Structure 1
Amino acid sequence: MNSSCALIVFAKAPIPGYAKTRLARVIGNEAAARLAGRMLVETVNNAVAADVGPVELCCAPDESHPAFLGAAATHGLALTPQGTGDLGVRMHRALERTLRAYPRALLIGTDAPGLGPQQLRDAARLLRSHQAVFGPAADGGYVLVGLSAPHPGLFEEIEWSTPRVMAQTRERAAQLGLALGELPTLADVDEPADLIHVPKEWLE
């Protein structure tokens, strides 16, 4: 395994009423939690299969959920807490910590079924020639961020969970003078209409 690019998986514990709450309004809390658990497993499997570097599972609300402990035991992953703050604060903190130990870091969520091993390898490769790499999401956010050095400005004053996230992030990157690389746009699964992007067997 190449150890030059660490991969952080940001995940919420698949707890009914906590994970995938927007989906739960249509499919129910239990089904939403089951789907969140399946997406966590698939994301971790893809992250490990990509083989770009060590994989870490960065957990909310903490590292104690059996799904996290099981993933760590199966794959030998490190578990870390996301901690407090909005999404930008938490992502920056995780990336900054990881970049103290590795020259490059990728951070992904568990919401994009199309983000497979090849896309992760492509992102790691792009990060060798760009200071920042993003995987835009079809809803205007992003499913992946990669950095070769901490840039807190990329995560400040962003309107999280809105269609403006990626556009605002591009503006921040331009203001910071960063060479930005982007993957092809992928769908993520946040709203009920997004369920069309989920393999049917994941919903069983």
Structure 2
Amino acid sequence: MTPPLTLLVIAKEPLPGRVKTRLTPPFTPAQAARLAEAALVDTLRAVAATPARRRVLVLDGRPGPWLPPGFDVVPQCAGGLDARLAAAFAACAGPALLIGMDTPQVTPELLTVELADGEAVFGPAEDGGFWALGMAEPDPALVRGVPMSAPDTGAVQRDRLVEAGLRVRDLPELRDVDTAADATAVAASAPHGRFAAELSRLHTDRARADRRGAVSGR
């Protein structure tokens, strides 16, 4: 039987200066973009390995070689993040689960959820936001107008679901990658992923550059 869930990933094309700007410094814009691409690759791999009726990448930008097969790509609409999330849900028929590209430690086990009528799932993030939002019957109005990138974003969003009469099941709390400290912690929690490998390469490159600088400064 075909799984009924649509999985949505909302993401930006990993271009220097447009993604992960809070990682600069200590990383350069190009290095931050490499980390963003690695995070996106890990996320898409997890989604690709999760049973789903449909997999959709809601993208700001153009797809690249990092996109695996099996995904429909649709452009993000204009407006704030709440409007873009609402539009992604509006395009879904039937149960849908949406995640971002900031949690490369996500696994197919975390994403394998069932949504019965009147249910929602909510994945809180450590910074007060949320990393996952799912609804059995997607209602864009429950997302539109939620203040994004605020300390209470997650609380406001979850309250919206409860106030609408939905039965909310909470997923485990995850840490978004926003800062260098976040990157280190997330890589440690998923040491075998592309993100952890890319972070390790960047640290190795920096150590080599520092050694060359020390030698040339003698």
For this structure pair, what is the TM-score category when the shorter chain's length is used for normalisation?
0.7 to 0.9
2:151 partner SS: coil
1:138 partner SS: coil
Could you say which residue in structure 2 is the equivalent of 1:104?
95
Q: How far off is 1:202 after superposition?
A: 2.5
Partner Cα distance (1:181, 1:11) in 2: 24
Partner Cα distance (1:158, 1:78) in 2: 26
Q: How far off is 1:163 after superposition?
A: 1.6
Instruction: Decide which of 159, 176, 201 is 2:197's aligned counterpart.
Output: 201
TM-score of the aligned structures, taking structure 1 as reference length: 0.87
Could you say which residue in structure 2 is the equivalent of 1:119?
110
1:38 partner SS: helix
Q: How far off is 1:147 after superposition?
A: 1.1
1:27 partner SS: coil
Instruction: Decide which of 152, 157, 170 is 2:158's aligned counterpart.
Output: 170
Could you say which residue in structure 2 is the equivalent of 1:12?
12
Q: How far off is 1:2 after superposition?
A: 3.0
Q: Quickly say closer, same or farther: Cα 1:86–1:195, change in 2 above 3 A.
A: same
* Structure 1 residues not aligned, in runs of 5+: none
Offset from partner CA, 1:72-131 (integer Å, 9 cap, x none)? xx41311100121111111111111112xxx2111111111231110001xx22x23652
Please, what is the CA RMSD of the aligned residues? 1.7
Decide which structure has the larger Cα Rg and report it: 2
Percent of residue pairs bearing the same amino acid type: 36
Partner Cα distance (2:90, 2:153) in 1: 20
Could you say which residue in structure 2 is the equivalent of 1:146?
134
TM-score of the aligned structures, taking structure 2 as reference length: 0.81
Offset from partner CA, 1:7-40 (integer Å, 9 cap, x none)? 0111100000001111123211011100111111
Between Structure 1 and Structure 2, the one with more helix by share is 1
Could you say which residue in structure 1 is the equivalent of 2:125?
137
* Structure 2 residues not aligned, in runs of 5+: 202-218
Could you say which residue in structure 2 is the equivalent of 1:53?
53
